[in-house]
Structure 1
Amino acid sequence: MTAFVFPAPAPVTLPLAGRPALFPVGRVFCIGRNYRWSPDEPARPPEMPAWFMKPSGAVVPAHGLLPYPPATGDFCHEIELVVAIGRGGFDIDPAEVESHHVWGYAAGLDLTRRDLQLQAKRAGGPWEAAKAFDHSAPCTPLVPAAVCGHPRQGAIWLAVNGIERQRADLSGLLWPVPELVAMLSRSVTLAPGDLIYTGTPAGVGPLQPGDVVSGGVADIGRFSMTVGDRAGFNPPRSLN
């Protein structure tokens, strides 16, 4: 038997809505924007959206305390529909995504250290520091597609302290789920357990300690979390 040099970490899992089983989380893919943020934007962009990744350890249940991350003064929310992959593949046909590859759906947050993201954009650098921090991908319990179907319309919304900031309809996704999954599968071989955060509507904004952030996606999931205190805050160093 092969011995580990230290105990292997426990797998990252998400609960299921109404079921005792757990969903083992693999990789986390995040799609940039993917909704119209202004009326003058095209209803169908000429190119597929950009995507980036977060570590599986960034995924946490979307309830209770939401820690305010270190090294930022601009901690922002982005509400998203989350797609859970149950069967992997490479170069997947969009027509087969829903029937063969999507296991279920959830509501999630793609949390961002916006000041670090802006620094990275100015320097032409990677986004990991802005996106891939601890607790940066809260997610509600997953709902099997066998129960909820494949949502193509329905409200996606987020409020802070009871004041709504983000609202759109899933029908407003510029690139729908089948095309997003197919796009990713042309770059990487998708695997069971992968999560795809499908993009956020307009209205992203900052969170402060003590804020109550709530939101939901159609009949898929709802959440409420309270932002914790800043701990060990160090403002990011300017790259100018």
Structure 2
Amino acid sequence: TIEVKKQARIRDSYTWASLYVRVTTNTYDAAGTMRSRINGANGNQTITIPAATAGVFEDNVNSDNIVNNDLVNWLLNVPAGSGAIYISVLSSFLTAVGNVTIIEANTTVATQSFGLIQYSTVLGIFELAAAEVNTQLLLRQASTLSNLRAYCSINTLDGASTLRLRINGANGNQVLDIGAGTTGDFEDIVNTDAVVSGDRIAHCLTTGGTAGGLFITIAQMKSAASNRW
């Protein structure tokens, strides 16, 4: 419900279009709206989901132009009523001149306790696991990865923490230092990592201290490759 926790930061210029929603179950007794958001304001893409109606809904008319440093996300707005809406697929297209892609993982519940080393996939759901092998993403093309970024919404740890990229079970160059008790937006704008087809990558979150916890809601990187993901 707090928008800043779910915003992705754009690191190129794109045309953002073709909003697509698959509603698997809908018992809600009022119509809802899904729309694009840019820097905390409504974008152009919008879909109306009729009351108690499941199925596929698309906006093939509207688009948004977004540029470097924009913060983007989706907004589902439903008025007061009863019932539930379950959305199984939400997608859109980013079209750019270059082959620059945002690789993103986000979550709703993943509070990390103190004094742990755990891993997460870089794409999809930011879900922490003790075994790195269970979180690694197998790459099928060469790319330069940069701009590792995370949003920390809760931090009650009494020690410093790090979020970093791992490549083939070893530390990559990109790393975020998260101070004890600090929250907000963290980004590595200095380091980059060159990866090739066959590499396996993951995030590694190391929490310090002897008390408290930390909650990361989104983690992302920029990928510059010869082909789009």
TM-score > 0.5, shorter chain as reference: no
The higher-RCO structure (CA 8 Å, 6+ apart) is: 1
- Structure (1/2) with the larger helix percentage: 1
Q: Give the number of the structure whose alpha-carbon radius of gyration is greater.
A: 2
Structure 1 length-normalised TM: 0.29
